[in-house]
């Protein structure tokens, strides 16, 4: 029932309903028992939508009416998460401020990506968003100095993606299991240093991205921390590319898609903003495809109307691969628990032109080397050597192996439907709307 609860929670967060219809969607949550909520809350936590859902439930400011929608014990659990995440985010803001001031003192130009830079445009209150790390964009020639500054604060290199992204973390003594409570105060801060607006990671997919992100940055204040962040058009494009990168990988938190949908809905009348966004996207056809995919995803899950200036990106033929995939598989791919599934591979082929390159990549995804998987990155060596962690890591690898078997089978059956959809298409929804498919 966890999958059903997740689907109902996503449906309750749609932004395109009148108040009465929105109330009906919230009331659909009544069908779940307290036991089903308890087992499903961890899934909602991992997807990131627990707190936005609670914010929607409390929208009218009448907490006394909530027992009519969800059980009282669930309300207590949601309120605990709100309270704990508020403290967590306040503590993370202090840690974030230490890193910001250290980089500023060293006179290293940088901008904050995602995280605290999203307030208040994407989320109006700190407690509504769960995050685990901080992201900074620096010039390539400043990366080594930035790393040295952060290492002086206790951070240590825990991973890298080529020369474009460095992951640094203050080592921790305890690992977090899959079902661990996520809202306690953060242990061991984590920072990602980016030197490029687009980090393809292991994907050989170059995009022509904005080169003036640092120059057009704006100053921002959250609490007592003053820092540079991306301009609003650049920030939106970056959010889109962030979801797209995770689409190319395997799984994206529905929270990230909701952030984009909420921003579109809240700022739908800012025509100049959307014209600037269109100009940043239009320079590269593949980036336009990536943006169309994410806009379709946001519409399919949460329902915001695409701004008029971006509507051209979504005006695609009925047999367009992106449009077809969204209609048939977007809901199943996006509304899934971590680590997701491999239905994105059906469309991933659209972004890789070389047949041999695609075949090699597909093989690596369907037959991954599970031994590379690790439960916790940035763990103290002494803690990593404990039998408790070794057993937990073995259990994690076994779970990952089983996940790949299940996901490969699902992908195989979906491939049959996908091939059929590309050659035969049943009736469309009225007006060409993007809808969930019964496939």
Q: Write down the mean pLDDT value for the chain.
A: 87
At 276, which helix (H) or strand (E)? helix 271-281
**Across 301-312, average pLDDT:** 93
Q: Contact, 389 vs 175, CB < 8 A?
A: yes
Domain positions in the chain: 1-70, 87-230, 232-439
pLDDT in tens, 260-293: 999 999 999 999 999 999 999 999 999 999 999 9
Q: Contact, 231 vs 247, CB < 8 A?
A: no
pTM reported for the whole predicted model: 0.90
Flag whether pLDDT at 344 surpasses 90: yes
| Residue 248 structure tokens | 């190319």
At 56, which helix (H) or strand (E)? helix 50-57
Residue 392, pLDDT score: 77
Flag whether pLDDT at 253 surpasses 90: yes
What phi and psi, each to the nearest 5 degrees, are found at residue 179? -100, 20
pLDDT in tens, 160-191: 665 578 999 998 877 667 778 999 998 889 99
Q: Distance between CA 109 and CA 111 in Å, rounded?
A: 7
**Across 221-229, average pLDDT:** 97
| Residue 353 structure tokens | 């032109």
**Across 109-122, average pLDDT:** 96
**Across 109-133, average pLDDT:** 94
Residue 1, pLDDT score: 56
Flag whether pLDDT at 387 surpasses 80: no
**Across 291-313, average pLDDT:** 94
**Across 107-119, average pLDDT:** 96
**Across 232-246, average pLDDT:** 96
Q: Distance between CA 383 and CA 377 in Å, rounded?
A: 12
pLDDT in tens, 401-431: 888 899 999 999 999 999 988 887 554 443 3
| Residue with the two structure tokens 């309750």 | 12
Q: Phi/psi zone of residue 272: left (φ > 0), alpha (ψ -120 to 50 degrees), beta?
A: alpha
Distances (CA, A) of 183 to 49, 176, 418: 13, 12, 39
CATH number at 87-230: 3.30.460.40
Residue 434, pLDDT score: 39
Residue 135, pLDDT score: 96
Bond into 120 cis (ω within 30):
yes
Residue 49, pLDDT score: 95
pLDDT in tens, 321-339: 999 999 999 999 999 998 8
Say what percent of the chain tops pLDDT 90.
63
Residue 270, pLDDT score: 95
* More confident site: 186 or 378: 186
Residue 107, pLDDT score: 97
At 37, which helix (H) or strand (E)? helix 34-47
State the burial class of residue 362 (Cβ atoms within 10 Å of its Cβ: 0-12, 13-18, 19+): middle
Q: Distance between CA 260 and CA 277 in Å, rounded?
A: 13
Q: Contact, 29 vs 49, CB < 8 A?
A: no
At 398, which helix (H) or strand (E)? helix 387-423
**Res. 211 pLDDT band, cuts 50 70 90:** confident
Residue 201, pLDDT score: 63
Flag whether pLDDT at 74 surpasses 80: yes
């Amino acid at each position: 029932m966890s999958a059903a609860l997740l689907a109902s929670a996503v449906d309750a967060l749609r932004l395109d309903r009148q108040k009465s219809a929105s109330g009906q969607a919230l009331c659909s949550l009544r069908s779940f028992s307290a036991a089903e909520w308890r087992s499903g809350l961890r899934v909602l936590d991992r997807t990131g939508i627990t707190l936005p859902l609670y914010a929607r439930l409390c929208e009218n400011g009448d907490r006394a009416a909530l027992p009519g929608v969800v059980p009282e014990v669930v309300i207590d659990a949601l309120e605990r998460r709100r309270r704990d995440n508020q403290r967590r985010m306040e503590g993370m803001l202090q840690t974030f401020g230490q890193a910001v001031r250290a980089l500023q003192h060293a006179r290293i130009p940088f901008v904050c990506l995602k995280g605290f830079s999203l307030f208040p445009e994407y989320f109006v209150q700190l407690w509504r968003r769960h995050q685990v790390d901080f992201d900074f964009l620096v010039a390539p020639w400043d990366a080594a100095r930035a790393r040295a500054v952060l290492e002086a604060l206790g951070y240590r290199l825990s991973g890298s993606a080529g020369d474009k992204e460095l992951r640094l973390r203050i080592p921790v003594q305890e690992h977090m299991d899959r079902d661990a409570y996520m809202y306690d105060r953060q242990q061991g801060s984590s920072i990602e240093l980016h030197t490029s607006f687009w980090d393809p990671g292991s994907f050989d997919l170059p995009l022509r991205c904005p080169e003036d992100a640092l120059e057009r940055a704006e100053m921002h204040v959250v609490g007592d921390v003053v820092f540079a962040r991306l301009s609003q058009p650049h920030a939106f494009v970056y959010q889109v590319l962030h979801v797209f990168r995770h689409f190319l990988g395997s799984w994206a938190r529905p929270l990230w898609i909701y952030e984009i949908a909420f921003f579109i809905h809240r700022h739908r009348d800012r025509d100049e903003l959307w014209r600037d966004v269109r100009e940043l996207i239009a320079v590269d056809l593949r980036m336009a495809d990536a943006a169309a995919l994410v806009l379709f995803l946001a519409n399919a899950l949460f329902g915001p109307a695409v701004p008029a200036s971006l509507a051209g990106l979504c005006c695609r033929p009925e047999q367009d691969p992106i449009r077809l995939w969204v209609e048939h598989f977007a809901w199943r791919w996006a509304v899934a628990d971590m680590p997701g599934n491999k239905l994105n591979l059906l469309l991933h082929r659209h972004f890789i032109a070389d047949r041999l390159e695609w075949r090699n990549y597909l093989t690596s995804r369907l037959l991954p080397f599970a031994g590379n998987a690790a439960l916790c990155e940035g763990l103290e060596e002494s803690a990593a050597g404990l039998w408790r962690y070794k057993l937990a890591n073995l259990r994690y690898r076994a779970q990952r192996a089983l996940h790949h078997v299940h996901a490969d089978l699902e992908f195989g059956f979906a491939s049959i439907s996908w091939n059929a959809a590309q050659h035969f298409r049943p009736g469309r929804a009225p007006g060409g709307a993007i809808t969930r498919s019964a496939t």
